[in-house]
A and B are shown apart, each in its own frame.
Chain A
């Protein structure tokens, strides 16, 4: 009984707001698609009753905003009803995107942590590298992505790696920013304490700086993995829209298949949410063990 109660305590509000959102979505679908339905009716020389109008807005082939059930149907059709190996299966496309995302995320986290450690420990690096790390993120990645892929192709790298590199480019930044902040989070009292113990730089790092950076680290990782997914999707656009969720988005956009865009989008979001949740679980477990969670 108490378990059920705690479930509702957690899920109740989410479900409530979800229901409101779906209602808003349906309302918006009617509002946005009505213009086209009326336009069509006017050209056909007929008048639409309200119920005809509503049912038309729910069942257009290329609506401005597809109704939730249309998207759900499309997702069901492309995940459950298709074989996983089929090129029309969203799971197959999702897997391709996921593999590039994870590879890029690992690269990005490693690069980010290394840079942060360097920045915290070396004055020269802090002063010279940090401003350029920030500048690097102001370069619009979509502009660079095709060039990255062409240039990497010229040196013989193709397939998963170029996409992962674009993911890395987007995901290392939040890690650097968060980690630098985290590694500097210990205040003077704590640092002085380490000094009175005559702790080496190394010990201070492992026993004080690193542990106290953990909350920042995990907060950054959550942003980084979402950024990494965006990077993988962006990277899929210029590889010729061959496969992956990005390719589905692009092909959907190209053919005006809004239902396909939304279903790919929802899949990407589910994927991202699952990844972020996974990091959240690791975060809770780690912080609990370290005694840092209140």
Chain B
């Protein structure tokens, strides 16, 4: 009971601090401090509730236990990270997103392709990837190649749909203006369409970061060598080492957030002119 009471008070106090900080002047420090405090609050909430209701660590281990496991199994976590994230997710992400980008430009150029490919693209985008995973594992073998293939398919269509939507985002006025300048197709593409499409493209790129990681991990459930984050998660659940499972999830969350953050930073640099960035 004391734990729960403590958790509630802690929560209230932290929220009050955050509101004060957010209302104050914006500095680099508050920008980092506010989400960090919120995160700490969540962790304390979790720890307190697990202890307060004495939940079995087989169901949900407290963060302190996960942190301990994390610290003692760094080499394994690193090996899994390389296998799943660097080899599987990243390579698939680059191949998938660039292929989708080029396809989108081709599709945008040809009215025939746009009318023919987009409905099919939307159809395939809706294919639940979880079903493709066992098939791709069958085709590409057990190592990271099949995981990259899953990621390629998973990110291709969201990226395609976003990019095509972006290439259509220009104003009619702007389009007419380009026409009066007698701009060529490439000039029109580079100077008007692509810049106007950037917010959409980055929207796609950001959504795809999380998809890529999930795809690579999920694909490992359908057969894998004996390393990788998905392998570790599915095996350790069976062994009831939930602390190890959550340590892997932590790695996934850290890697995913860093990946997303990188994309967001690039977006900021590229689309500084867009209203959503100026706020």
Q: Of the candidates A129, A154, A174, A253, which one forms a contact with B134 in the assembled complex, judged by CB atoms under 8 Å apart?
A: A253
A174 and B207 within 8 A (CB): yes
Kindly state the separation between the CA atoms of A122 and B22 in the bound complex, as whole angstroms.
Answer: 9
Please name all residues of chain A whose beta carbon is closer than 8 Å to the beta carbon of B199 when the two chains form the complex.
181
A268 to B206, CA, bound (A): 25
Nearest CB in chain A: distance from B89 CB, A? 11
Please determine whether B131 and A140 come into contact, CB atoms closer than 8 angstroms.
no
B132 within 8 A of A: yes
Q: Closest residue of chain A to B221, judged by CB?
A: A142
Q: Are A138 and B130 in contact (CB under 8 A)?
A: no
How far apart are the CA atoms of A261 and B139 in the complex, in Å? 14
Decide: B203 and A138 in contact? CB cutoff 8 A. no
Chain A residues near B229 (CB, 8 Å)?
140
Q: Does B222 contact A (CB under 8 A)?
A: yes
Whole-angstrom CA separation of A268 from B39 in the bound complex: 37
Nearest-neighbour CB distance to chain A for B163, whole angstroms, equals 12
Query: B34 and A127: CB pair below 8 A?
Result: yes
Main secondary structure of the interface of A (DSSP, over half): helix
A230–B233 alpha-carbon span in the complex (Å): 20
Q: With A140-B233, A229-B126, A261-B134 given, is the CB distance from A128 to B37 under 8 Å? A: yes
* Contact present for B22 and A230 (CB under 8 Å): no
Binding site for A on B (CB under 8 A): 15, 18-19, 21-23, 30-31, 34-35, 37-39, 42, 59-60, 112-113, 115-117, 119-120, 122-132, 134-135, 138-139, 158, 161, 165, 172, 199, 203, 206-207, 210, 213-214, 217-218, 221-222, 229-230, 233-234, 237, 242, 245, 248-249, 252-253, 255-257, 259-260, 275-276, 278-279
Residues of B within 8 A of A73 (CB): none
* B39→A132 contact, CB < 8 A: yes
How many chain A residues have a CB neighbour from B under 8 Å?
A: 73
Chain B residues whose CB sits within 8 angstroms of the CB of A132 once the complex forms: 35, 38-39, 42
In the bound complex, do residue B131 and residue A264 qualify as a contact, i.e. CB atoms below 8 Å apart? yes
- Which 10 A/B pairs are nearest by Cβ-Cβ distance? A138-B256, A272-B126, A13-B116, A128-B38, A124-B22, A127-B34, A17-B116, A123-B22, A137-B210, A140-B217
A4 interfacial contact with B, CB 8 Å: no
Contacts of A144 in B (CB 8 A): 249
A188 contacts B275, CB within 8 Å?
yes
- The answer on a CB contact under 8 Å between B278 and A188 is yes
Of all chain B residues, which has the CB nearest A97? Answer: B128
Please indicate the chain A residues that have their CB under 8 angstroms from the CB of B139 in the complex.
Answer: 32, 64
Which of A126, A142, A265 has the most chain B CB atoms inside 10 A of its CB?
A142
Minimal beta-carbon separation of A227 from chain B (angstroms): 9
Contact with B along A19-36 (1 / 0, CB 8 A): 001000000000010000
Closest to B162 in A: A219
Besides the contacts A9-B115, A134-B256, what 16 more A-B pairs have beta carbons closer than 8 Å? A12-B115, A17-B120, A123-B22, A127-B31, A137-B256, A138-B256, A142-B214, A143-B249, A177-B207, A178-B203, A181-B203, A230-B128, A268-B131, A269-B128, A273-B122, A276-B126
A116 is an interface residue with CB less than 8 A from chain B: no
A184 on interface, CB distance cutoff 8 Å: yes
Residues of A within 8 A of B39 (CB): 131-132
> Which of A64, A127, A146, A245 meets B138, CB within 8 Å?
A64
Which has the most chain A C-beta neighbours within 10 Å: B39, B120, B128, B256?
B128
Across the interface, do A142 and B256 meet the contact criterion of CB distance under 8 Å? no
Q: Which of A130, A222, A233, A253 is in CB contact (< 8 Å) with B128? A: A233
Our pick among B30, B161, B233, B257 for the contact of A127 (Cβ within 8 Å) is B30
Q: Cβ of B210: which chain A residues have Cβ within 8 Å of it?
A: 134, 137-138, 173
- Distance, CA A274 to CA B162, complexed state (A): 19
Minimum CB distance partner of A124 in chain B: B22
Q: Are B35 and A13 in contact (CB under 8 A)?
A: no
Shortest beta-carbon distance from A216 to chain B in Å? 9
Q: Are A129 and B38 in contact (CB under 8 A)?
A: yes
User: Whole-angstrom distance between the alpha carbons of A140 and B132 in the complex?
Assistant: 17
A226 at the interface (CB under 8 A from B): yes
- Judge whether A186 is part of the interface by a CB distance below 8 angstroms: yes
